[in-house]
Amino acid sequence: MPGDSGGERRRSPADDFARARPEVGRSHVDYGDHHNRWRAYVGVVSYDSEPRRVIGTQMARDSSLSSDDRVEILLDTFRDQRSAFYFATNPSGALVDGLVASGQLNADWDAIWDVRTRRTDQGWIAEFAIPFKSLSFPAERTVWGFNIARHIYRKLEENRWSGARLDTQLYQVSEGGEITNLVGLTQGIGLDVRPFLAGRWLHVGGQDDRSGKPGLDVFYNITPSLRLTATFNTDFGETEVDARQINLSRFSVLFPEKRSFFLQGAGVFGFASTGPEPAGGIPPAGADVYPFFSRQIGLLGGQEVPLDAGIKLTGTVGRTDVGLLTVRTGDLRIVSEKNFLVGRVKRNLFQQSYVGAIFTGGHPAQEQSGQTYGADMRLATSRFLGRPNNLVVNAYGVRSVNEGVPGRRSLSEGGSGRDWSYGFSAHYPNDKFNAQVAFREIQENFRPALGFVQRDNVRMLRMAASYNPRPKDFLNVQQMFHDIYYTRFTRLDNGQVESWDLYVTLLDWHLRSGDNLHGMFDFNPTYERLFESFEISPGVHLLPGEYRFTRFRSNLVSTAAKRRLSGSMNVTYGNYWSGKAEQLTTSLTYKLPPRFTIGVSTNQTFARLPEGHFIARIFTANVSYAASPSLSLSNLVQYDNRSRNMGWQSRVRWTLQPGNDLFFAFNQGWIREDVGNLRFRTQDSKVSTKFQYSFRF
């Protein structure tokens, strides 16, 4: 169902007023031998005229720092102006890291590094210590790309060392500056060995299952710019659970990858068949194509498939990015052991562009096989028509070939083909004016065995434009957003329109206080044509035919996240398919910075259709406590009324020292016995532990 979950509408760093003001801070970059370990040191002094108002509400590893004062660093070690290592912290010393590729941040990547911070009577200071062993870089290169940004949240201000323009983001690596004279850098042997010991206790249906196993992760820098990652007897017991979703559409929903092995070097496997990203709060097009989506490996029908071994090679050779992944999964009752192979290559062009190719081999299902191959291209510039404006053009073509898929014949068996997807997009992502157009065709037999596609047998067209002025001295408004998005899907088999929708944002004001008045008068005319019956909710079937309806969205409240108590409330209402429906999303967060945070959120849909009434509900509660940046406890409780399941995960992460971690996770599930009461019975219990220790050579 269209609509967001009540979070921040705009999340782009370009929202902040980016200005270079060297008098408010000072940084220093150095490198040297510290106890025989080569590291890069970055020291930052952040002066503040009101040091007591410096904000640092988060302390746990990989916390979201979007509502904190923070310092962010990009290291473009290959000086390719496309990708970079990302490190950030806040006044409370939280460690946040990630990988930047093609203007997007993957914050799930973790490195071995350290940071120390301290508040002073002049502001706050931070010192980053980043071992060269944790980075990849060409051995002969003495120049790295570098950028650093400081955010002062109470002022919604960003101070950036290089590329400080409203039309650019920190993640545009090409806008960074340079650090030079990096002579004699070394990674030693370049070998990390990380043995681990994992244990599990599972209680289901009165039966106990106890197991334990050792495992090993190995990281080896074949060259300073080419890394080999290997895992044996892999365990993902420390992985966070997925956020609940109730799917009220006819198409698949995407759950992000969270497993550490697959996140290492994930950027190289990205493909130009996704995006452009819509403005915050605008529903996505729902037609992204992923030739390779790593969650297809090791997960089948919601059940975990053991990984016996995996090897990944990622890095750069000259101006070419390469990625090679091979994985072997173990035996289960539902599927026998399988081998999977993924290959990716990207040849970098100019400053921000590339051409590439991808291949995948293997199929997760029993007695089925599949291959996917394709090519893509990205042309990007931040100097469009000689002016400081951004333009990104993507194009791709990809084909899937599957054998043994029920109900589908291969070409060798006389099948009809129709197993391609191709498209292009152009995006003009700038501060005041933002526009995009995307075309995509997904044929009826296109099924990437190791990928993900939301819908098929369609041709998509999306066009959009945004006008986002920054008024001066008008009601404390920082920026106004106005959007028009039109999306249409046409069936390939009969040429008929399957669906279209128009999403218009008339009033979306962001105030200098950090509070927002967004989505006050959004409206969304929609057309849907069903070619077969659709069960939108258990027992509620929509008949084939045409449906026209208009939805409206209003943001009732959205307060600044810097406040100790903050929250939001959104309501979407109007006609819905053959009847009417209201969707209410709420969130409330209370902080005792920097250690304690509690948040609750709801997403509820109340539908009244001639075919039947239904209510879809998701309740979520988060409680987290950080004793220090190296020791944190998080609790996540979720309930949805479709599965009638309530789940609780309690997760502890203790970093004894960088690279040496102890994880403990407790999962408890309950099932609601009857819709008419609140009685729950225990469904399952699970305890997982994992200890890993890193040896660096």
Mean pLDDT over residues 480-501, rounded? Answer: 96
Mean pLDDT over residues 508-531, rounded? Answer: 89
Q: Which band of pLDDT confidence, cut at 50, 70 and 90, is reported for residue 35?
A: very low
Q: Which tens digit of pLDDT belongs to each residue from 387-403?
A: 889 999 999 999 999 98
Q: Which band of pLDDT confidence, cut at 50, 70 and 90, is reported for residue 416?
A: low
- CA 356 to CA 370: how far, in whole Å? 21
- Tell which wins on pLDDT, 92 or 335: 92
Domains along the sequence of the chain with CATH: 13-179 (2.60.40.1190)
pLDDT of residue 29: 56
Mean pLDDT over residues 655-679, rounded? Answer: 89
- CA 545 to CA 624: how far, in whole Å? 48
Nearest of 168, 357, 348 to residue 272 by alpha carbon: 357
User: For all residues of the chain together, what is the average pLDDT?
Assistant: 88
- CA 450 to CA 293: how far, in whole Å? 6
What DSSP letter does each residue of 109-162 carry, written as one string?
---S-EEEEEEETTEEEEEEEEEGGGS---TT---EEEEEEEEEGGGTEEEESS
Q: Which tens digit of pLDDT belongs to each residue from 179-223?
A: 998 888 888 888 999 999 999 999 988 888 999 999 999 999 888
pLDDT of residue 234: 86
Do the Cβ atoms of 534 and 540 come closer than 8 Å?
no
Q: Which tens digit of pLDDT belongs to each residue from 607-628?
A: 999 999 999 999 999 999 999 9
Whole-structure pTM value: 0.86
Return the H-helix or E-strand segment holding 573.
strand 565-576
Cα of first residue to Cα of last residue in the chain, in angstroms, is 52
* Geometric angle at alpha carbon 510, from 507 and 512, rounded to 5°: 145
Beta strands in 279-337 (DSSP E): 289-290, 299-300, 303-304, 307-317, 320-329
Mean pLDDT over residues 79-94, rounded? Answer: 92
Report the sign of the C-alpha dihedral through residues 373, 344, 102, 629, in that order: positive
The rounded percent of the chain whose pLDDT value lies above 70 is 93
Whether 255 has a pLDDT exceeding 70, the answer reads: yes
Do the Cβ atoms of 158 and 169 come closer than 8 Å?
no
- CA 571 to CA 586: how far, in whole Å? 9
Mean pLDDT over residues 627-654, rounded? Answer: 95
pLDDT of residue 128: 96
Whether 308 has a pLDDT exceeding 70, the answer reads: yes
What DSSP letter does each residue of 419-466 carry, written as one string?
-EEEEEEEEEE-SSEEEEEEEEEE-TT---TTSEES--SEEEEEEEEE
How does DSSP classify residue 22?
Answer: G
Mean pLDDT over residues 321-349, rounded? Answer: 92
Whether 470 has a pLDDT exceeding 70, the answer reads: yes
The rounded percent of the chain whose pLDDT value lies above 90 is 62
Whether 12 has a pLDDT exceeding 50, the answer reads: no
- CA 599 to CA 588: how far, in whole Å? 6
Of 77-86, 109-118, 409-418, least confident by mean pLDDT is: 409-418
Nearest of 172, 195, 201 to residue 18 by alpha carbon: 172
pLDDT of residue 405: 66
Do the Cβ atoms of 220 and 190 come closer than 8 Å?
yes
Q: Provide the 3-class DSSP secondary structure of residue 15.
A: helix
- Residues linked to residue 548 through DSSP beta bridges, in sequence order: 527
pLDDT of residue 15: 33
- CA 194 to CA 692: how far, in whole Å? 6
Of 35-39, 52-56, 76-80, 649-653, least confident by mean pLDDT is: 35-39
pLDDT of residue 521: 85
